[in-house]
Amino acid sequence: MPSAVCVQHVQKTYDKIPVVNDLSFTIESGEIFGLLGPNGAGKSTTIRMLTTLTRPTEGQIEIAGYDVVRQPAEVKQNIGVVLQQTSVDNDLTVWENMELHGRLHHITNPRRQTLINQWLEYVELAQRRDSPVKTLSGGMKRRLQIARALLHQPKILFLDEPTVGLDPQTRRRLWEIIRDLNRQGMTMLLTTHYMDEVEVLCDAYGASQPGRIGIMDCGKLIELGTLQQLKANHGEGLLMKQIGDRFEYKFFPTLDDANAYLDSLPDKTGMMVRPSNLEDIFVELTGRQLD
């Protein structure tokens, strides 16, 4: 079975400046893949190329076996996209938004109505089908975006900052929807600035295998692996030492190693040991936190 997403030596240049530089990775069918990077790392440009909105300057991208440059129509038939910005029409009702999307994808009746009802029920918006979108909460609008993106039954779902600006309860409900879709076999690429979101969604929860995490910086992929692989590469134990108003961090292979090192020090002032997390690794690799 071919990879769901295949990116080979892709470069995107604006005014002779490379924004994405020799990027290569694959996403297997049924995998959830987290793509991280600080602002300006090239994530948004990468997503735009993967979803046919921007042509790569060099290299090749295949989505579900189709080339994004030569076969954009076939690519669009196989992808769903949930953007950070609210992209549903506020002046239409919930049902009208779904109906318009279904017609744009040439889904005929009665199948179109069956799918609309199915996905509105799935995201718990069936009772609001006749409500104008402008009356919905932010979380409801995001759930509507997910339902709309799934209406034409794509193979791959792109989620660009899917929970930004939402309250914790709504974020967790969306996590449940995303994890459930992945357990059903949906391939996903997720970008987010929330490290806990990546740890929850790309870990092995309910999946046959954990999803992988790619970290970009300056247009390049600088690290790739599962959360456990990243921790094994950098260290699962962390020693924090306060120096003035900031902390210095030192990684150790295990938490026991970090504790043993701390115990061996005559002066432990301002120090503590804890397990490392994805944010620690991200800062170690990029030298700065996400904005």
Predicted pLDDT at 210: 83
The per-residue pLDDT for range 98-119, each reduced to its tens digit, is 999 999 999 999 999 999 999 9
Q: Write the CB contacts of 134 (distance below 8 Å, at least 6 apart in sequence).
A: 90, 91
Parse the chain into domains and list their residue ranges: 236-275
Burial group, residue 32, by CB count within 10 angstroms (0-12, 13-18, 19+): buried
Q: Write the CB contacts of 116 (distance below 8 Å, at least 6 apart in sequence).
A: 95, 98, 99, 102, 151
- Confidence (pTM): 0.90
What is the chain's Cα-based Rg? 21
The per-residue pLDDT for range 265-281, each reduced to its tens digit, is 999 999 999 999 999 99
The per-residue pLDDT for range 64-87, each reduced to its tens digit, is 999 999 999 999 999 999 988 888
C-beta of residue 92 within 8 angstroms of C-beta of residue 132? yes
Compute CA 122 distance to the chain's CA centroid, rounded to the nearest angstrom.
Answer: 21
CA dist list (Å): 247 to 79, 126, 238, 271: 43, 49, 12, 9
The DSSP secondary structure of 75-90, one letter per residue, reads: HHHTEEEE-SS--S-T
In this structure, are strands 271-275 and 237-243 parallel, antiparallel, or unpaired? antiparallel
The per-residue pLDDT for range 204-243, each reduced to its tens digit, is 544 557 899 999 999 999 999 999 999 999 999 999 999 8
The per-residue pLDDT for range 176-191, each reduced to its tens digit, is 999 999 999 999 999 9
